[in-house]
Amino acid sequence: MTSTSDFDPSLVEAKELALSALKEITPEETIGDPADYAVEDDGVVSLRFRSKLLGYPGWFWTVSLTRVEGEEPTVLEAELLPGEGALLAPEWVPWSQRLEEYKAHQAEMKAAEESNGDAGDDDDDDDDYDDESDYLHA
């Protein structure tokens, strides 16, 4: 939260306006109970509602409201934002870096296979048969 000098308490009470805005961008069944609010700069108040979207634990539907002098409260934006401890996607890694990591891993695996193959491989045959005829009669 930031400065509360321009705080308009009626914005906190504008839950119906916030819900109406959310219903324009998501089905009603994805919107949970009101969670809390934050007072932002310039008198903006962000109301948060728990998300019921599958795969989005710890996320909140957030609607930022303000009031222009002499007017009714209005919606600035509505969005889905992560809360504390929310499940987040990993940081994006450029394709070229992923390719380098993939090639390095492939080289490591090849080196490991070659070193394992050399350690247990001697020139003697591993089977118990001395020649082909022993194999055919076994």
Per-residue model confidence as pLDDT tens digits over 32-81: 999 999 999 888 999 999 999 999 999 999 999 999 888 899 999 999 99
Rounded CA-CA distance 11/62 in Å is 13
Is the alpha carbon torsion for 74, 77, 78, 83 positive or negative?
negative
For the chain, the first-to-last Cα distance in angstroms comes to 83
Residue 15 burial (10 A CB sphere; 0-12, 13-18, 19+): middle
The model carries a pTM of 0.64
Q: Give the residue from 57, 60, 52 showing the smallest Cα distance to 87.
A: 57
